[in-house]
């Protein structure tokens, strides 16, 4: 399966991965009655599907909606002390699970939504007079990553007026209150070379640029002062490497997570065409794994379900390079995706799903909230920006996410409209 002439550790690791995925690529026609019954029993195979028709495999497999929603809603209660390593990432956990549930069409109840708003409010950090951001927990310093996560959560809740006018209004009011303080705080993080730090005196990398322009665009503070400028754009461009993808800082290795951040940031700033698009395109398509169907994060590394979104989302964004405006909000017909949707969706549904709920990196890894979010987000992009090419047509669809912001497009649209009007 792995083509090589000279074996190295990379080859061994890749062969191990192929071996671990192989059993999950079930050939339904070769399964016995007991095995089929088992698959139906755990909900992976649709009860009404045929195991003998020519499209049996492609159209039988289901997404385990309830199990995944159940798993992710654990985050809305109390979680075990083993999560202490994520104690500085609580807004992240809330975003991964809230957005994950949203994609499954299963937002938690109003009481929980209120709890999320309150908890996020407790994570607000006044950096100084009228400036601030969200920290990873109460009493923690403002940091770009939890700020991004918190704003997206509040955005999801603010646009859930169908569930509760009251909590939606609460969320909107809070976002309105923090718009200006966020802008002020963001400006303090900018470096002379156009880079942004993740927090006061913190590390510089392209994630900071992305999280900032994403929030700024949604809350309509992007065109203020020098938040976005040629130097800001040029720092991001400098992160593109000879391989065609982007690294975290200029010189660092091309990597899926940072590539997504760079591509989405450039697109939001309307400057994606200033990157080397042919090189970027080539790098992105080479990241889809021939055997597994999912994406790797870097050349010569292993498949990982989370890259379904980081790489898949970047592919979706780059595919719209010749289109004006926000092609996902306008009813523009989207250009085809350069990856194979069928194989990606197959990887997510067969290898990344944990039958007990939640999704994972690869079969040998345990499920977690982060991988649940990004496998589902990647599935969404591939289904809606591409096409539904694997899975039961009525039992594998997720809601449509916006490839730049990664919240549902109807929510993104409402938020943009809400903050577009002058105060």
Partner 1 sequence: MATTTMTMMLTVAEIPLLFSDITPIPQDDGPHPVCQIDYKRDFVTAYDTMRAILKADERSERALRLTALCVKLNPANYTVWHFRRVCLIELGLTEERVEQDLALAAELGGSNPKNYQIAFHRRALMEALGLDDEKARRELGYIATILKEDGKNYHMWSSRQWLIRTAGLPALWEEEISFVNDMIAEDCRNNSAWNQRWFAVHQGTRDALTEDVARQEADYAIEIAQIDPYNESPWRYLIGIVRENDSLVDHYEQAAADVKTVLVEADRDAEACANLNSARIDLLEIKGSTGSIEEALELCKSMSAEHDTIRRKYWDLRASELETNLSTTN
Q: What is each CA distance from 115 to 60, 76, 150, 157, 292, in whole angstroms? A: 38, 8, 13, 11, 40
Number of chain positions touching partner 1 (CB under 8 A): 78
Decide: is 389 part of the binding site for partner 1 (CB under 8 A). Answer: no
Rg (CA), the chain: 21
Q: Is 361 a catalytic residue?
A: yes
Handedness of CA 337, 104, 206, 183 (dihedral sign): positive
Structure tokens at 89: 């990432």
Beta bridge partners of 246: 240
- The answer for residues whose C-beta is within 8 angstroms of residue 390's C-beta and 6 or more apart is 58, 61, 341, 342, 343, 345, 346, 349, 396
Q: Does 286 engage in binding with partner 1 (CB under 8 A)? A: yes
Is 304 within 8 Å of 297 (Cβ atoms)? Answer: yes
Whole-angstrom CA distances from 383 to 23, 187, 323, 341, 389 are: 25, 37, 20, 7, 7
Is residue 255 annotated as part of the catalytic site, yes or no? Answer: yes
Tokens 């069928």 belong to residue: 342
Per CB under 8 A, the list member of 114, 164, 188, 231 interacting with partner 1 is: 114
Residue 254 touches partner 1, criterion: CB under 8 A = yes
The string of DSSP letters for 174-193 reads HHHHHHHHHHHHHHHTB-TT
Identity of the residue, 236 or 409, whose beta carbon is nearer to partner 1 in the bound complex = 236
State the nearest-atom distance from the C-beta of 31 to partner 1, in Å: 25
Q: What's the closest the beta carbon of residue 417 comes to partner 1, in angstroms?
A: 28
What is the distance between the alpha carbons of residues 195 and 246, in angstroms, rounded to a whole number? 14
Is residue 371 flagged as an active site residue? yes
- Between CA 281 and CA 315 the distance in angstroms is 7
Identity of the residue, 12 or 330, whose beta carbon is nearer to partner 1 in the bound complex: 12
> What are 132's strand-pairing partners?
126
Q: Do 101 and 73 contact (CB within 8 A), yes or no? A: yes
Shortest CB 50 distance to partner 1, Å: 27
CB 308 within 8 A of CB 294: yes
Question: Residue 201 catalytic?
Answer: no
Whichever of 87 and 191 has its CB closer to partner 1, that residue is 87
**Is residue 374 within 8 Å of 305, Cβ to Cβ?**
yes
- Contact between 87 and partner 1 by CB under 8 A: the answer reads yes
Residues 3-22 that bind partner 1 (CB under 8 A): 3-6, 8-11
Binding partner 1 (rule: CB under 8 A), the pick from 27, 54, 55, 85 is 85
The reply to whether 298 belongs to the active site is yes
Q: Which of 46, 90, 143, 255 is an active site residue?
A: 255
Task: In angstroms, give the least distance from the CB of 170 to partner 1.
Answer: 12
Among positions 238, 326, 354, 361, the unique one binding partner 1 when judged by CB under 8 A = 238
Options 99, 255, 360, 411; binder of partner 1; rule CB under 8 A: 255
Catalytic annotation present for 68? no
What residues from 264 to 283 belong to the interface with partner 1 (CB under 8 A)?
A: 281-282
Closest to partner 1 by CB, 165 vs 203, is 203
**Minimum CB distance to partner 1 smaller for 139 or for 422:** 139
Annotation marks residue 387 as catalytic: no
Of 138-197, which residues contact partner 1 (CB under 8 A)? 138-141, 143
Nearest to 145 by CA among 100, 189, 112, 192: 189
Closest to 314 in 3D by CA, of 266, 268, 259? 259
Is 368 one of the annotated active-site residues of the chain? yes
CB of 200 to partner 1, least distance (A): 7
307 part of the active site = yes
State which of positions 64-83 bind partner 1 (CB under 8 A): 75-81, 83
Which residues lie closer than 8 Å to 333 by C-beta, 6 or more apart? none
Binder to partner 1 among 62, 72, 116, 232 (CB under 8 A)? 116
Site string for partner 1, 315-354 (x = CB under 8 A): ---------------------xxxxx--x-----------
In sign, the C-alpha dihedral spanning 128, 134, 140, 145 is negative
- Positions marked catalytic: 255, 298, 301, 304, 306-307, 361, 368, 371
């Amino acid at each position: 399966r792995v083509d090589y002439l000279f074996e190295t550790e990379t080859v061994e690791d890749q062969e191990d991965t192929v071996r671990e995925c192989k059993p999950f690529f079930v050939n339904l026609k070769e399964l016995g009655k007991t095995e089929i019954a088992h698959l139906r029993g755990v909900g992976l195979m649709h009860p009404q599907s045929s195991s003998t028709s020519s499209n049996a495999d492609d159209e039988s497999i289901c997404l385990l909606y309830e199990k995944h929603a159940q798993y992710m809603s654990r985050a809305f209660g109390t979680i075990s002390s083993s999560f202490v390593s994520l104690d500085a990432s609580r807004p992240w956990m809330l975003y991964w699970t809230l957005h994950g549930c949203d994609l499954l069409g299963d937002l938690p109840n109003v009481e929980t939504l209120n709890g999320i708003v309150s908890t996020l409010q407790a994570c607000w950090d006044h950096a100084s007079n009228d400036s601030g951001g969200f920290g990873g927990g109460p009493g923690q310093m403002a940091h770009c990553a939890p700020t991004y996560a918190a704003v997206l959560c509040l955005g999801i809740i603010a646009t859930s007026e169908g569930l509760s006018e009251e909590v939606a209004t609460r969320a909107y009011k809070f976002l309105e209150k923090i718009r200006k303080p966020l802008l002020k705080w963001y400006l303090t993080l900018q470096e002379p070379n156009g880079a942004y730090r993740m927090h006061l005196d913190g590390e510089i990398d392209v994630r900071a640029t992305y999280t900032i322009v994403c929030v700024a665009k949604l809350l309509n503070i992007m065109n203020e002062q020098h938040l976005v400028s040629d130097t800001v754009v040029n720092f991001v461009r400098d992160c593109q490497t000879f391989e065609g993808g982007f690294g975290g800082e200029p010189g660092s290795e091309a990597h899926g997570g940072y590539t997504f951040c760079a591509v989405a940031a450039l697109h939001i700033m309307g400057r994606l065409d200033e990157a080397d698009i042919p090189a970027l395109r080539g790098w992105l398509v080479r990241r889809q794994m021939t055997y597994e169907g999912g994406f790797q994060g870097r050349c010569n590394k292993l498949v990982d379900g989370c890259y379904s979104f980081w790489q898949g989302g970047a592919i979706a964004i780059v595919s719209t390079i010749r289109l004006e405006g926000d092609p996902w909000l306008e009813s523009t017909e989207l250009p085809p995706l350069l990856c194979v949707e069928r194989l990606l969706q197959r990887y997510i549904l067969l290898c990344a799903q944990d039958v007990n709920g939640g999704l994972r990196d690869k079969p040998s890894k345990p499920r977690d909230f982060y991988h649940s979010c990004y496998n589902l987000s990647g599935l969404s992009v591939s289904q809606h920006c591409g096409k539904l090419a694997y899975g039961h047509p009525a039992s594998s669809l997720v809601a449509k996410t916006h490839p730049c912001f990664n919240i549902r497009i109807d929510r993104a649209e409402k938020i943009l409209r809400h903050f577009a009007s002058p105060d």
